[in-house]
Structure formats: C-alpha cells, structure tokens
Amino acid sequence: MIKPFKYDQKHPDRDPEPINGHGTYIDKWDEDHVHMPCSPLSLTVDFANEYIGGGVMGDGCVQEEIRFTVCPEMLTSLLVCEVMKDDECIFLIGCERYCSYKGYGFGFRFNNDYIDNTPRDSWGCRMCHVVAIDAICFSDRRSQFSMETTERELIKAYTGFQTLNIPAEQPRVGVATGNWGCGAFNGDVELKAIIQLMAASEAQRPLVYVTYREQALAQLFSSVWDHLIDHQATVGATAVKSWYDEVSQYNFNWGGFSMATGHFTQVVWRGSQKLGVGVARSSTGAVYVVAQYTPPGNYQGQFQANVRPKNSC
C-alpha cells in the first residue's frame, strides 16, 4: 500500500510514522509557463542533487544549476551543506536574483540584467524562499514504482513541504513546483505529480504545478484534481486501507490465494509495477472502486516470492 510518512525533526532517530491522511487536495495545474514563481506567496522547489548545487560549478545546466547561476548567493550553500539524507531538505532564504536568461542545458545563455523587486522582510532579506529536495536518479525507470522508492520520495517531498509550529487556522504559503526528478533523473511525471500532490495536501499547502508547457499533462491532472475535490478524497484512501487490512487474515507460511485476502495480496504484489484506479458512485450512493495492476498478481505458485512479511522486504 502506498502511503506517505511523517518525519519527526524533533526526534531524528525515530522511524517515520504513517500519516493518517485527512489532508485535502489544493492545487493549480499551470500549462502556460515554464518558470516557477518566486514570491512571498510561494515556497519554490529546487530540483536538487543530493549534493546541493549539483553540477553548477562544472558543466551542469539544468533546473538547479540555472537557479544557482541567476541567484549566485545560493552558491554559499555549497560551502556549508553536507550531502542530504533521505529525510532531509535544505532551505535557501532571501537570495536575490541578478540576471535573466534564455535556453536550457547546452542552450543556456545570459539574457539581460534583472531587477529583483521581491519585497524585503524585517531583516532586509528578499522574501524569496526556496527548498531543495533531491529525487532518486533511476537507471531503471521501472524501479521507481516499487514500494520502497515511492515511500522514499513521499518522505522527501513531505520533509520539504511540511510546516512546523504554525497554527492550523493560519494560512500556509503555497508550494511552486513542477516535474521534480524527471528529465535526466528518469522520473515518471505522472507519479511525481501525484507524490507532490499528496505531500502538499498533508502539509496543508496550496500547490502550483508548472508543467513546462506539457498541455496533455496539465489537462490530465486538472481532471484528476477535479475528481479528487468532487469526491472529497484524502491521502489515506479508505478503499486501499480496507484492502490492506486483510493482512490480518493472511497466512505468510501458507502463501496462497484466498477470497478473504485477495485484495491485500494484489495491493502488495512485488511484481506489479503500475496501478490504475477507477471510482464510481451509483444512484443509491454506493461507491465502487476498481483497481487494475500491471503486471497483475495473485498467481498460484508465486505468492512466496511476491507477498512477503514486512520485516523481510
């Protein structure tokens, strides 16, 4: 079962705890822009390398390196920040932008001077907040759909998006992000969008998602978002929880199929890589949830290899 976990910064040695999943989805899918905003109303995501700055001092010139180039004050983080762990992020606050640019990668070019009119806070710093979170670089794109890697990315995103010591009734600034960990890191844009949507929902932050002019992606997730809002969906999906709860009736020593545990064994089936879920409501108000797995599971003779106790995974 895919579900995000909370990282407790006050007790770093404690294992992450499951999120109950009462957060609502708040989101905007932006298909017209290719640059993420940096304003007092947003926390902008740096698609970071685990070593902050990535290849900015070498020949790297993608999202993180470009941001560090146009905001050179960020370069100081290279001197003081160690490699990020799976449950860590880095905040870059108050960095001023000095130039505009055009292009990307080998086509990146200085374009002109830039006058940064971002308001200043009481300390005199620009009210520009950036959070660096590093995604996994996948040599095999299929591996990102495993339970282990999905939970890792959820923890990483939530670590960057969470708000500490802010009263529940106080508004949170939004998160401005995009196709985090895709491109050179081979991340699946649909999976990464859902992961960040879940993390932002649990952090109770609005989400502005810049799709970099990928109109099909913007339209797809706009419809997903509308569906989630219409059905008052939460991160802790009731249907998936009920399927997983069948684990209490499953005999790991026997390792076979049973009508009483078939939902559970398919949810955790090790060989399944992708999941599609359909939800419908009847005229009487009954809710029907159907899931399609690829490759499918619940094959006789394969249970021992694909349905394993948690402590052996």
Q: Is the pTM of this model over 0.85?
A: no
CA 133, CA 143: separation in Å to the nearest integer? Answer: 20
Strand-pairing partners, residue 92, are 130
Q: Would residue 15 show up in a list of annotated catalytic residues for this protein? A: no
Residues 165 and 293 in one domain: no
Residues 55 and 136 in one domain: yes
pLDDT at 283: 58
CA 293, CA 286: separation in Å to the nearest integer? Answer: 23
The half-sphere exposure of 224 on its side-chain side, counting CA atoms within 13 A, is 19
Q: What is the mean pLDDT of the chain?
A: 78
pLDDT at 73: 95
pLDDT for residue 33 is more than 50: no
**3-class secondary structure, 284:** coil
The region of weakest confidence among 26-30, 52-56, 93-97 is 26-30
Q: Domain boundary at 233, 250, 270, which?
A: 233
Query: What does the pLDDT average to over 128-132?
Result: 92
E-strand ranges in 73-121 read: 90-93, 99-102, 109-113
Residues 208 and 254 in one domain: no
In percent, the amount of the chain with pLDDT more than 70 equals: 74
The region of weakest confidence among 108-117, 154-163, 240-249, 294-303 is 240-249
Higher pLDDT, 226 or 180: 180
Helix (H) or strand (E) run with residue 241 in it: helix 238-244
The domain tally of the chain equals: 2
Give per-residue pLDDT as tens, 56-108: 998 878 889 999 999 999 999 999 999 999 999 999 999 999 999 888 888 88
Q: Domain boundary at 199, 233, 267, which?
A: 233
Of 8, 17, 30, 64, the active-site residue reads 64
Q: Would residue 13 show up in a list of annotated catalytic residues for this protein? A: no
CA 30, CA 214: separation in Å to the nearest integer? Answer: 9
CATH label of the domain that carries residue 270: 3.40.33.10
Q: Domain boundary at 201, 233, 265, which?
A: 233
User: Is there a domain that residue 265 lies in?
Assistant: yes
Residues 218 and 249 in one domain: no
pLDDT for residue 225 is more than 50: yes
pLDDT at 82: 94
Residues 178 and 46 in one domain: yes
pLDDT at 80: 95
Residues 158 and 268 in one domain: no
Q: Residue 187: which pLDDT band, with cuts at 50, 70 and 90?
A: very high
CA 170, CA 217: separation in Å to the nearest integer? Answer: 32
Residues 175 and 296 in one domain: no
Of 27, 30, 46, 188, the active-site residue reads 46
User: Is there a domain that residue 215 lies in?
Assistant: yes
pLDDT for residue 168 is more than 70: no
Give per-residue pLDDT as tens, 137-163: 999 988 888 878 888 998 899 999 987
CA 252, CA 209: separation in Å to the nearest integer? Answer: 42
pLDDT at 169: 63
Rg of the Cα atoms in the chain? 21
pLDDT for residue 213 is more than 80: no
Any residues with CB less than 8 A from the CB of 10 and at least 6 apart, and which? Answer: none
CA 34, CA 213: separation in Å to the nearest integer? Answer: 6
Q: Residue 26: which pLDDT band, with cuts at 50, 70 and 90?
A: very low
Residues 225 and 259 in one domain: no
pLDDT for residue 210 is more than 70: yes
pLDDT at 23: 40
Q: Give me the domain span that covers residue 74.
A: 42-233
Q: Output the six-digit token pair for 241.
A: 């929880």
Residues 102 and 139 in one domain: yes
Higher pLDDT, 143 or 213: 143
Residues 61 and 47 in one domain: yes
pLDDT for residue 281 is more than 60: no
CATH label of the domain that carries residue 176: 3.40.220.10
Q: Would residue 214 show up in a list of annotated catalytic residues for this protein? A: no
Q: Residue 21: which pLDDT band, with cuts at 50, 70 and 90?
A: very low
Residues 162 and 256 in one domain: no
Of 65, 151, 188, 246, the active-site residue reads 65
User: Is there a domain that residue 24 lies in?
Assistant: no
